[in-house]
Amino acid sequence: MLFVEANGARIPAIGLGTWELEGRTCARVVEQALRLGYRHIDTAQVYDNEREVGDGMRASGVRRDDIFLTTKVWTNHFAPNDLERSVKESLARLRLPSVDLLLLHWPNSHVPLEETLGALSHARRMGLTRHIGVSNFTVALIEQAVALSGEPLVCNQVEYHPYLDQAKVRAACDQHGLALVAYSPIARGRIKSDQTLAAIGRAHRKTPAQSACAGWCNRILLRSRGPRASSACRRTSRSSISSSRTTRWRRLPRWPTPRGA
Ligand SMILES: NC(=O)c1ccc[n+]([C@@H]2O[C@H](COP(=O)([O-])OP(=O)(O)OC[C@H]3O[C@@H](n4cnc5c(N)ncnc54)[C@H](OP(=O)(O)O)[C@@H]3O)[C@@H](O)[C@H]2O)c1
């Protein structure tokens, strides 16, 4: 399995997003994903499915320690006491003593960032989460957050896919050792009909979505280990993304040049 390491966190590179999953469907999808080999699950207070995510985790039979679970605090809980209370409520819904990563879901200019980050750091020191981070933060907000946070921030989760390059945000994350966690990684399904990714995929008997995923794995390995990682990258791409065991990757695909958001 491929991991991203950032400020002390070791995050499985490919995760399951649970936005818009509800009720028993959500629990079943989480259970099946874990049985299939996913080890990183992403939920949030505002998705209203933390209870079902916890149910799916338990039903999978996968050891808790082997799962990396993220949840996110919604903006109406950013005042310090509200944050702590809301995280405890999340844990009660999940029926877990802690999560692996707790994020501020979206910036909220109505509450001083210093106060919210103080409460987030306190949640980490209380053992409610192993790591903390942010989501949807701009470059300026990343700089402020890194300067103000009492505990290391491990990631900024932002929209990132072949049509949205996020070069400035990526550079700011790199500078401070934060992982960039991509949401909407297949552009909410838009890449299904992308001609370039389809052509790359055809050459390797892959779908456009698989081509995009292989491109991220390539980037992660090349960035973390340097060019000599390419053979490991090919192995990882085969094992985690292949739709057919007999298909071989002759050459890793590269993303098309971004066309803008
Ligand atoms: N931090 C934040 O503010 C934030 C915001 C948004 C999302 N997220 C997280 O990121 C996760 C993923 O983002 P997302 O749901 O917005 O977008 P996404 O993963 O880019 O796209 C999901 C859509 O892509 C289509 N799809 C799924 N698998 C496919 C495949 N193999 N080939 C082609 N199309 C496929 C599905 O459409 P059909 O159902 O039509 O097939 C699905 O609804 C969310 O679940 C959530 O956990 C975080």
Higher-pLDDT residue of 180, 245: 180
Could you report the per-residue pLDDT of 168-194, keeping only the tens digit for each? 999 999 999 999 999 999 999 999 899
Averaged pLDDT, 35-59: 98
| Per-residue pLDDT band at 226 (split at 50, 70, 90) | low
The domain segmentation of the chain, as residue ranges, is 3-185, 190-261
Strand, coil or helix: what is 27? helix
Contact 191, 161 (CB under 8 A): yes
Closest among 123, 26, 138, 25 to 81, alpha carbons compared: 123
Q: Which of 200-214, 221-235, 236-250 has the lowest mean pLDDT?
A: 236-250
Centre of ligand 1 from the C-alpha of residue 145, in Å: 27
Could you report the per-residue pLDDT of 80-117, keeping only the tens digit for each? 999 999 999 999 999 999 999 999 999 999 999 999 99
> Can you give the pLDDT at residue 95?
98
Centre of ligand 1 from the C-alpha of residue 68, in Å: 19
Closest among 184, 164, 90, 79 to 122, alpha carbons compared: 79
Residue with tokens 């999560």: 99
Q: What is the pTM of this model?
A: 0.88
Could you say which of 3.20.20.100, 3.40.1790.10, 3.20.20.150, 3.30.1360.120 is the CATH number of the domain covering 3-185? 3.20.20.100
187 CB within 6 A, ligand 1:
yes
134 CB within 6 A, ligand 1:
no
Ligand 1 atom nearest to 210, measured from its CA: 31
162 Cβ partners below 8 Å, 6+ apart?
A: 187, 191, 194, 197, 212, 215, 255, 256, 258
Give the active site residues: 47
243 CB within 6 A, ligand 1:
no
- Measured in degrees and rounded to the nearest 5, phi and psi for residue 34 equal -65, -40
